Amino acid sequence: MMNVTKKWIFLKVSSVILIPLMVWFIINLPLIYDKEYFDVVSFFSKQPSKFLISLLMIVAFFYSSLSISEIFEDYIHDEKIKNAANKALYTFAIVIPLITLTIIFNLTI
């Protein structure tokens, strides 16, 4: 299987997983955004929110890194700049969710 085909399949599979997670996220966001500190901590540290927000972070950053690299493919013509941009993007997509997941799993009321 070609790399581009694998990339397309990964994009589509992550997109199908991401849709219900995004629906859950935007339904819950207006419920908690202006709540007190302990209510927000309680939301992120209890199940199923803890599992769902963690999954959202992993899948969303994975999906975005693949789709943004497609934008780089279309608009950046210099190979060196494109490779550097892709490396920075993949690093960002690994580091940010990793830090956030560590924080979520260390949150206690």
Partner 1 sequence: MENNNPLSPHIQIYSWNISSLISISHRIIGVINILVLTFVCLWISLLLLGETNYDYAKFFLQSIFGKFTIIGIIWSYSFQILSEVRHLFWDLGYGFELKTSKITGLIVIFGSIIFTILIYLFGRNIF
Residues that bind partner 1 (CB under 8 A): 12, 15-16, 18-19, 22-23, 25-31, 33-34, 36-38, 40-41, 44, 53, 56-57, 60-61, 64, 67-68, 71, 74-75, 77, 96-97, 99-100, 103-104, 106-107
Least separation in angstroms between CB 52 and partner 1: 13
Amino acid letter, 50 = K
Least separation in angstroms between CB 43 and partner 1: 10
> Using CA atoms, how far apart are residues 95 and 99, in angstroms rounded to an integer?
6
Least separation in angstroms between CB 100 and partner 1: 4
Give the long-range contacts of residues 76-84, CB within 8 A, separation 24 or more.
none
| Cβ contact 20:55 at 8 Å | no
Instruction: Select 28 or 86, whichever has its Cβ closest to partner 1.
Output: 28
Residue 33 φ then ψ, to 5°:
-60, -35
